[in-house]
Amino acid sequence: MRYRTIYALVCLLLLAVTGIQADNLTSPISLVPCPVSIVPGTGNFRFSAKTTFAVENEAQAVEVRQLTALFTRAAGFTPRIKVGSKKGDICLVTDAGLKNESYKLEITPKRITIHAADAVGFFYALQSIRQLLPAAIEGASASASPSTSADIDWAVPAVTITDQPRFGYRGLLVDVARFFSPKENLLRIIDCMAMLKLNKLHFHLTDDNGWRIEIKKYPELTEIGSRRVDRPGKSFPDRRNPRQGEPTVEKGYYTQEEIREIVAYAGERHIEVIPEIEMPAHSNAALAAYPLLACPVVNKYIGVLPGLGGENADVIYCAGNDSVFTFLQDVLDEVLKLFPSKYIHLGGDEARKTHWEVCPLCQARMKEEKLANEEELQGYFMGRVARYVQGKGREVIGWDELTNATIPKDFIILGWQKYGEAAVKAAELGHRFIMTPARIMYLIRYQGPQWFEPLTYFGNNTLKDVYDYEPIQKDWSQHTASLLMGVQACMWTEFCNAPEDVDYLLFPRLSALAEVAWTRPERKDWKAYLAAMDGFNEHLAAKGIVYARSMYNIQQTVTPRDGRLEVKLDCIRPDVEVRYTMDGSQPTAQSALYVRPLMLTGTKTIKAATFSAGKQMGQTLELPVVWNPATARAIKSIGADNIGLLVNGVRGSLKYTDSEWCSWMKNDTVSFTLDLKKPEAVARLTLGSITNYGMAAHKPARIEVLVSADNKDFRKVSGKSFTKEEIFREGTFREDIPFEIGEKARYIRVVAYGAGLCPFTHVRPGQEARIYFDEVIVE
Ligand code: ACM
Ligand code: ZN
């Protein structure tokens, strides 16, 4: 049924796009990323035990064998490959006129012809065939259930596809330092990358939380650096630093043999594995093993960090100690032998210079090298290591903090902060760059309405946010645009505790990244992508990957409008219906269809879900909207992100970025004024607040409540102060703070005085504590 719907959609779309008659297409054409052109044909090509591939040479046979191996496993037969032959059902033909990586694929009921200039072009054409096949091609049904596989029609639709990528660099970072992905899971991710025609795996192998690659010359890097203490039940930012002598039970690293296997597996799929060896910061795991490589002024225990690190995140390699460079060169010598990649990533992000500022060795280095400040010392550090790597014939990549100092020669900049502005700055200086803006491309953020999501960092990067990303901005010069190598998504794993958690955050967003990286903007079409992605997701499911269905969930927006509340129920998928109830019953396919915002004037519980063809697609949103005299009243504040949230009848969840909590740009003093429209007897005002210790969300130091009849003269009627112990309590919890008033009032003003900086013992020492309120309840 679902196939048919997709098929109908895709046909309609293709007809609209191509204007070509496709009267008897019999299966859907769903390809992610969307090719340059798809012209549908008539009928199907069927694979069977008799199918033969004719290839010109052994190199082509190598590519074809990757597809025929899938048939062997899933279908129980193996199409034949004839090397040096021009006669076959599927012919591979070199066309030197085509660009690298591009291909032309012609499928007719009788024959398939693939033209490409290089091995990777043929590989991508074969990956397109793989996606066009029934998803069962990913399974192992031949051995498990021969009868089922015999029933499958191994057909692909007749079609002519011409294709080539938009960007040469189409990347994914996988962080195996925070969560160590078992090799098998990593290989499966690599295979999915190949299906999506991604070609760079940025392998984040070392960080404060683990050193994951065997280095023969420095065995302690893995003996000590790949193990850390466990903090069961604590999320990453809440995990306290290790104490000396604590057992280290969390562990994992790849042996050199396993690294070679990973690199070879990726290489067969035309994916370059780019190792990242972090420096000078994010190096607690290395320094736990070799503490003498830290500045000699560091006088605290250095352990592999289980979480954010707090005050230990500033423990970094000493820039004045030549042994550090010898060590890094030795490490890189082994890394270079293991990774044949053109690029090596040298880190360079988030280096706090607190120790460099007071370290005699670092200061002596600055003097000797005539460096103006510690940022320039980092420039020296990165430049020195970069020259070593460049001297071995490789190119270097670094995070965009390298722009804080003179950028060493020929560094390629990976733009991550905000929207990647720093990388653009580097480009203006002539550096090549890659975009992975955290605001869009960090897959650690929530991918859907947060009420339904497992805990992760903060903020949203939905499937649609990733899909809609356009890296090239209108105000870029042509020269800047010409230096953009491509785009990358980053799978940071701080909140992953099992391989399934990584899969969940990766899929299906990785397919949206592929579309950004491969497909030209003029070919992008959200609806067509969704239909194709549904087909791709079936392949994921057949591979045993449980992908996120967050794209089917409903995001509520409840906004005060002149004494009423406007309730919007949005789903990023336009191909589903939103149905809702307001009588407490569960929504069904027969419930009221949501077509426009609902207007409320009193307490109601809305229940809503998305449906397609009578089937519920997402989770049920249960939204109690609870009215009190402050609800939907006028409220004003300076510097608030969205002050209306305080009076929208909806309580924030335990996730402080769930779009129901109100926050302020500056947290020293925040205030808001509520207008009850006429004088009312107010017995009490209750203010909801959230503490999220790990993210430095805390109650203010003091709150005052004032009242006024004219919005001019305000009189304090109530207040509360909190001690440091009360404010900086560990955990994530909500609190309702009541204020007795017992007065008639029209205007109520709440003034909150921030708690200042988090104390030294905090997991975020010295960071400003942020205030989050929701909701205001007047009785
Ligand atoms: C980064 O997210 N620190 C590169
Ligand atoms: Zn130093």
> In this structure, is residue 55 part of a structural domain?
yes
Q: Is the CB of 442 under 6 A from ligand 1?
A: no
Alpha carbons 713 and 222: distance in angstroms, whole number: 67
Residue that has been written with the tokens 């309590």 in this structure: 729
Residue 459 included in any domain: yes
The whole-number average pLDDT for the span 74-91 is: 96
- Token pair listed for 536: 């791709």
For residues 664-675, give the mean pLDDT. 96
Mean pLDDT of 411-437: 97
Residue 262 placed within a domain: yes
Question: What's the CA-to-centroid distance between 295 and ligand 2, angstroms?
Answer: 4
β partners of residue 230: none
Residues 6+ apart with CB under 8 A from 37: 160, 161, 162, 163
Is the Cβ atom of 773 under 6 angstroms away from ligand 1? Answer: no
262 Cβ neighbours under 8 A, 6+ residues apart: 183, 186, 187, 190, 203, 254, 273
Strands 604-612 and 577-581: antiparallel
Is position 547 within any domain? no
Nearest residue (by CA) to ligand 1, atom 3, is 349
Nearest to 616 by CA among 568, 555, 553: 553
Say whether pLDDT at 163 is over 80.
yes
439 within ligand 1 shell (Cβ under 6 A):
no
Size of the chain, expressed as the number of residues it contains: 779
Judgement on whether residues 673 and 731 belong to the same structural domain of the protein: yes
- Which atom of ligand 1 is least distant from the CA of 399? 4
| Residues contacting residue 595 through CB under 8 Å, at least 6 positions apart | none
For the CA of 492, the nearest atom of ligand 1: 2
Same domain for 260 and 183, yes or no, is: yes
Q: Give me the catalytic one of 115, 204, 270, 282.
A: 282
Q: Which residues surround ligand 2, an ion (CB under 5 A)?
A: 295, 318, 320, 359, 361-362
Which one from 106, 207, 238, 272 is the annotated catalytic residue?
A: 207
Q: Can you say whether the dihedral through the CA atoms of 23, 29, 35, 41 is positive or negative?
A: negative
The C-alpha atoms of residue 101 and residue 63 are separated, in whole angstroms, by 13
* Ligand number with the minimum distance to the CA of 356: 2
Domain final residue, candidates 504, 522, 542: 542
The residue whose C-alpha atom lies closest to atom 2 belonging to ligand 1 is: 416
Q: Is the C-beta atom of 350 inside 6 A of ligand 1?
A: yes
* List of E strands, 229-338: 250-251, 272-279
Whole-model pTM: value is 0.95
Which residue's CA lies nearest to atom 1 of ligand 1?
349
- pLDDT per position as a tens digit, 332-357: 999 999 999 999 999 999 999 999 99
- What distance in Å separates the CA atoms of residue 173 and residue 492, rounded to the nearest whole number? 8
Is pLDDT at 8 greater than 50 in this prediction? no
State residue 144's pLDDT score.
Answer: 47
The answer to whether residue 239 is domain-embedded is yes
Work out the number of other CB atoms within 10 angstroms of the CB of residue 74.
Answer: 24
How many Å is the Cα radius of gyration of the chain?
A: 29
Which residues 6+ apart lie within 8 Å of 660 measured at CB?
645, 648, 650, 651, 652, 653, 774
Pairwise CA distance, residues 200 & 490, whole Å:
12
Q: Which pLDDT belongs to residue 149? A: 64
User: Whole-angstrom Cα distance, residue 391 to residue 397?
Assistant: 15
Number of separate domains in the chain: 5
278-331 residue pLDDT tens: 999 999 999 999 999 999 999 999 999 999 999 899 999 999 999 999 999 999
Query: How many other C-beta atoms can be found within 10 angstroms of the C-beta atom of residue 653?
Result: 16
Q: Are residues 370 and 393 both part of a single domain?
A: yes
Q: How far apart are CA 391 and CA 324, in angstroms?
A: 18
The half-sphere exposure of 480 on its side-chain side, counting CA atoms within 13 A, is 18
Residues 626/596/4/15 CA torsion (nearest 10 deg):
-150
Please report which confidence band the pLDDT of residue 7 belongs to, taking 50, 70 and 90 as the band edges.
very low
79 in Cβ contact with 52 (< 8 Å): yes
Q: Could you tell me the sign of the dihedral formed by the alpha carbons of 592, 598, 603, 608, in that order?
A: positive
3-state percent breakdown (helix, strand, coil) of the chain, nearest 5 = 30, 30, 40
The ligand minimizing its distance to the Cα of 321 is: 2
Q: Is 369 a catalytic residue?
A: no
* Cβ(598)–Cβ(577) below 8 Å: no
Would you state the pLDDT for residue 438? 98
Distance CA 33, CA 655 (A): 33
pLDDT in the model for residue 452: 96
Report the CATH number at residue 572: 2.60.40
The per-residue pLDDT for 28 is 58
Helix (H) or strand (E) holding 776: strand 772-778
Name the average pLDDT for the chain.
95
Domain boundary among 493, 514, 542: 542
Look at residue 192 and tell me if it is in a domain. Answer: yes
Confidence tier at 641 by pLDDT (50, 70, 90): confident
Count of C-beta atoms within a 10 Å radius of residue 581: 17
Whether ligand 1 lies within 6 angstroms of the CB of 399 is answered as yes
Q: Which atom of ligand 1 is nearest to the CA of 350?
A: 3
| 119 and 189 inside one domain | no
| C-alpha 131: how far from chain center | 24
Query: What is the mean pLDDT of the segment spanning 489-508?
Result: 98
- Kindly state whether residues 233 and 310 are assigned to the same domain: yes
Residue 448 maps to which CATH number?
Answer: 3.20.20.80
Q: Locate tokens 């065995």: which residue?
A: 219
Tell whether 702 and 769 lie within a shared domain: yes
Phi, psi dihedral angles at 511 (to 5 degrees):
-70, -30
Least confident window among 133-137, 139-143, 186-190, 667-671: 139-143
Domain contains 744? yes
349 lines ligand 1 (CB under 6 A): yes
Alpha helices in 315-462 (DSSP H): 322-338, 354-358, 360-368, 374-391, 421-428, 438-441
Whether residue 564 is found in the same domain as residue 602 = yes
Q: In percent, how much of the chain has pLDDT > 70?
A: 95
Q: Is the backbone peptide bond immediately before 28 cis, with ω within 30 degrees of 0?
A: no
The CATH number linked to 80 is 3.30.379.10
φ, ψ (nearest 5 deg) of residue 348: 100, 5
Residue 317: DSSP 8-state? B
Same domain, yes or no: 340 and 321: yes
Same domain, 402 and 524: yes
Task: Name which of 626, 589, 629 is nearest 608 in CA terms.
Answer: 589
Residues 435 and 307 in one domain: yes
Which residue range is the domain that position 707 belongs to? 634-778
**Residue 282 among the catalytic residues:** yes
Among residues 281, 279, 293, 276, the alpha carbon closest in space to that of 382 is found at: 279
* pLDDT tens per residue across span 708-735: 999 999 999 999 999 999 999 999 999 9
Determine whether the shortest distance from the Cβ of 416 to ligand 1 is under 6 A: yes
Q: Is 468 designated active site?
A: no
Q: Are residues 297 and 349 in the same domain?
A: yes
Between the CA of 335 and the centroid of ligand 2 the distance, in Å, is 25
548 in a structural domain = no
Q: How far apart are CA 145 and CA 627, in angstroms?
A: 58
Q: Are residues 350 and 485 in the same domain?
A: yes
The one-letter amino acid code at 281 reads: A
> Smallest Cα–Cα separation from 633: which of 643, 624, 641, 620?
643
Of 542, 573, 588, which marks where a domain is finished? 542
Ligand 1 center–CA 482 separation, angstroms = 25
End-to-end CA distance of the chain: 53
Side chain identity, residue 404: N
CA distances from 634 to 147, 562, 567, 684, 763 (A): 67, 8, 17, 18, 38
How far is Cα 507 from Cα 494, in angstroms, rounded to an integer?
A: 17
